[in-house]
Chain A
Amino acid sequence: MASLPKRIIKETERLASDPVPGISAEPHEDNLRYFAVTIEGPEESPYENGVFELELYLPDDYPMEAPKVRFLTRIYHPNIDRLGRICLDVLKNNWSPALQIRTVLLSIQALLASPNPNDPLANDVAEEWIKNEELAISKAKEWTKLYAGKR
């Protein structure tokens, strides 16, 4: 296996020694660029009490290129589609090499706390969100219970 850049080693170490509350990220045994991630639903959000699994991959050009992140757990959210792809600026245009895995995961957690139906990825969800927010929120809660229940 090609030697891992120091940057990735440092970040991995720090994620283990000084974890972010509510977030865990562990590299895969066979591939140290591939991380198994869990994010707890933020309090007072429809995703509260849910634990969401994600996958995170650091491309060859990391940190010049953004990490690739995807939800594995189903989630009812206007900025996350059925395949778990996330619409988040720091993962696309606003990526900067000064950002890190932890900052990205924090941004995702923040996205759960404040969905943005005006910049949707899942159009159907966003539409419902705008039309009837209460209903959408209750549906998000239901899905959280259904798919992201604590094991």
Chain B
Amino acid sequence: MTDLESDDSLLLEFEDDDSESISNIDAPTDSKATHLDSDFANIPPHNVDTDDSEFDIDESQFSEDDLEDDYLVFPIKKTTKDLLDEDSLPSLKYECLTTQEIFDSMKRRVHHLQPVFSLPPQDILILMQRYDWNEERLLEEWTEKMDNLLIESGLNTSGESDGRGVKNGKEFFCPICCEEILTETFSLECGHEYCIDCYRHYIKDRLNHGKIITCMDCSLALKNEDIDQIMGGASSVKLMDSSIKSFIRKHSNSYKWCPYTDCKCIIHLKDTLSLQEYSRLHASRFVTCSMGHSFCFGCGFEIHAPADCRVTDQWVKKARLECENLNWVLSHTKECPRCSVNIEKNGGCNHMVCSSCRHEFCWICGGDWAPHGSSFYQCAIYKNEDKNKLVADTPKKTLRRYAFFYKMFTEHEVSAKLDWKLGETVGFKVKGLQEKIGVSWIEGQFLTESLKTLNEGRTALKWSFAVAYYSDPSHNLTKIFIDNQGLLSNAVESLSELLQIKSPEVIMKRRTEFYNKAGYVKNRTKALLECGRDLLRKGISKARE
């Protein structure tokens, strides 16, 4: 989040109003909160400012590397940044890499190791692959076994390199395909010679397995240069790529693929210890790859705050479980409040007349139509209409409750998608500003920023319904949470409205409004997220089957 707070003075008026009213309501439930807050203070600050560490290469960096259960030491660089600006959370330190970058750093390790082994780099590369790129284990075994390790790893120890390589075309009987033809052949020092076609076929299948490729008849290893010689081009790159991929799979607690389609980024989390702290606080570990895709490091899902990974998991599972049919019925039909017939609304206004019992009711709230008249009716809050009858959650009622929250969730999801479309036009608008009224690019960025804020607000709102669904509806904090939802919802809508403006002149004229509303959305989002975390931390909202 970048600062839009240059106009802070204006926002504060809004802010103070709300936060005061909320903290008033909050007061009765606070006895527990203070206790928890003191817990917070005990958390050791985990913020080693990574921007600085580039310059002071000191013990702190080394001791940190020692802490890691990973033997890989990547230089701390670029995308390392703080994620959540809340003071209570340790900052996540991570970097965004590609397989190529990981491989390059492996190659640097190989270079470092060369004096130890005094072997050609290709051979060390084989050893590293054999030990899953685990340098420490390799060195340990090396000191114990020396030459035996080389033999086990399929490296030639005789020192002769006779007979290795592709041989020119000749009449040859290949024991693999049993054909006798004029062909090129390949063999290693072991002398197991096969035709080039069989070798190509053999290697092609294995390039994706990420394992050392050996001679077809013994354990002598093919090096990258052999593979390139046989296959032509830089085919060994593919093998290295798959080897790195299997390395990532094996270290999935500190390396994660960006889950976005076709994104090749890998997030490397540097201090896995902070993860425990995050899950204890019901906060999620959101990371952003260098392509700008944000996701949760814990569950690989999209940004789902204020929900934690557990709630998200349950919610998504539930949505899947309540199979499509039921979801359709739930999201497209309602029961007639009097006779419980399922009614699908396929158009028209909210004034419904049940076709079976002729009961007149409001589609939105399900109440009698009579008091509605033609006036506006607030229906965004789910009201437990039958407060007197509130005895037990009958299955039907739970379903309807779920249906409500599910509806709200999907509605915000749809809106978020529409906002993305809006985003595409924002780029043009910024351009329009530049061309028509000569606004500089930097100045025009408030539009892009507003859109970003809007999206963040929407996502928070969307997932807040998952948290709300699992919350105890009678608890005071839940009510506050729902109030917060309402406030953010209003804020988001009015910002969204503002972003629909097309004329560049009007946009520039109402620029302060953009700042104000975006700032307000930002504050409301933060408040909602904090409130949601409170609900989870205090166990008022609990994921359950």
Residues of A near any B CB (own CB < 8 A) = 5-7, 9-10, 61, 63-65, 96-98
Contact = CB atoms under 8 A, between A and B. Distances in A.
Contact of B178 (A7, A61, A64): A7
Interface of B: 175-179, 192, 198, 201-202, 205, 216-217
Contacts of A7: 176-178
Contact of B202 (A6, A9, A64): A64
Contact of A63 (B176, B179, B192): B176
Given A64-B201, A64-B202, A64-B205, A98 B178 contact: no
Contacts of A64: 201-202, 205
Contacts of A97: 176, 198, 202, 216
A98 B177 contact: no
Given A6-B177, A64-B202, A97-B198, 13 more contacts: A5-B177, A6-B178, A7-B176, A7-B177, A7-B178, A10-B178, A63-B176, A63-B177, A64-B201, A64-B205, A97-B202, A98-B176, A98-B192
A9 to B, nearest CB: 8
Classify the secondary structure of A's interface with B.
loop
Contact of B216 (A5, A65, A96): A96
Contact of A98 (B179, B205, B217): B217
B201 A98 contact: no
Nearest to A9: B178
Contacts of B178: 5-7, 9-10
A14 to B, nearest CB: 10
5 contacts: A63-B177, A64-B205, A97-B176, A97-B202, A97-B216
Contacts of A98: 175-176, 192, 216-217
A64 B201 CA distance: 7
Nearest to B180: A6
**Leading 10 A-B pairs by shortest Cβ distance:** A98-B217, A6-B178, A7-B178, A10-B178, A98-B216, A97-B176, A97-B216, A96-B216, A7-B177, A64-B201
B205 A6 contact: no
Contacts of A5: 177-178
A107 B163 CA distance: 31
Nearest to B192: A98
A5 to B, nearest CB: 7
B172 to A, nearest CB: 14
Nearest to B216: A98
A63 to B, nearest CB: 6
Contacts of B201: 64
A135 to B, nearest CB: 38
A7 B177 CA distance: 5
A5 B179 CA distance: 9
A6 B179 contact: yes
